[in-house]
Amino acid sequence: MATTNLSYYDKTTIPNAKSFRFGIVVSEWNPEITENLKDGAIATLLDCGALKENITTWQVPGSFELVYGAKKMIQTLNLDAIIAIGNVIQGETKHFDFVCDGVTQGIVDLNIKYDVPVIFCVLTDNTKQQSIDRAGGKLGNKGIECAVAAIKMAAIKNSNTNTESIGF
């Protein structure tokens, strides 16, 4: 678990995102967390050159639905990368385990089946405070980190050569 803010990035180490198209699918559950993650992701994509009109955002009811939302984006939009944003906080039942396992495996399956990288931006924390700390709080904003990952993966997706030729 991160104990320092890892959301700082060096733009000189990230490909320019101007030519890439991004999808962001966001869970409506825990919106005070997921909206902060989304805002961090969008701001980072724009800061790294992405065009506003090349960022499509969809909302789904909960984290479990992120997989279907990302799949529909892959099937209906021409995207270079998708960021799946959600938040699941441990409760008193096994629901947490089932949702976390399902979403994780679903995103893995999408990455295996399709040629569009889907970035896992789902906070799975024990407490709401841990989520707040990772959604713009003292530990940074995981939305920023996932946007950087999306840009790098979009560059790999669009490259016909090794990663050294795209600046890694």
Q: Give the tens place of pLDDT for each residue, 94-135.
A: 888 899 999 999 999 999 999 999 999 999 999 999 999 999
- Provide the pLDDT confidence category of residue 5 given band limits of 50, 70 and 90: low
Give 7 or 67, the one with higher predicted confidence. Answer: 67
Q: Could you tell me if residue 167 is inside a domain?
A: no
Q: Is residue 168 part of a domain?
A: no
The three-state DSSP-derived secondary structure of the chain is: CCCCCCCCCCHHHCCCCCCCCEEEEEECCCHHHHHHHHHHHHHHHHHCCCCHHHEEEEEECCHHHHHHHHHHHHHHCCCCEEEEEEEEECCCCCHHHHHHHHHHHHHHHHHHHCCCCEEEEEEEECCHHHHHHHEEECCEEHHHHHHHHHHHHHHHHCCCCCHHHHCC
Distance of CA 148 to the CA centre of its chain: 9
Total domains in the fold of the chain: 1
Query: Among this protein's residues, is 52 annotated catalytic?
Result: no
Q: How confident is the model at residue 65 (pLDDT cuts 50, 70, 90)?
A: very high
Report yes or no on 42 lying in a domain.
yes
In a domain, residue 70? The reply is yes
User: In the beta sheet, which residues pair with residue 84?
Assistant: 25, 120
* Residue at 48 is within a domain: yes
**CA 64/CA 76 separation, integer angstroms:** 20
Q: Specify if 21 maps to a domain.
A: yes
pLDDT of residue 4: 57
Check 18, 95, 113, 138 and give the catalytic one: 95
Residue 127 is part of a domain; what is its CATH number? 3.40.50.960
Q: Are 136 and 130 in contact (CB under 8 A)?
A: no
pLDDT, one tens digit per residue, over 134-148 is: 999 999 999 999 999
Task: With respect to residue 107, please indicate whether it lies within any of the assigned structural domains.
Answer: yes
Q: What is the pLDDT of residue 84?
A: 98
Report the C-alpha gap between 71 and 13 in whole angstroms: 29
5 is a domain residue: no
Domain that holds residue 145: 16-156
- Provide the β-strand partners of residue 140: 137
Q: Please, which pLDDT band fits residue 6 given cuts at 50, 70 and 90? A: low
If pLDDT is split at 50, 70 and 90, which confidence band does 1 have?
A: very low
**How does pLDDT run across 20-57, given as a tens digit for each residue?**
999 999 999 999 999 999 999 999 999 999 999 999 99
* pLDDT tens, position by position, 69-103: 999 999 999 999 999 999 999 988 888 889 999 99
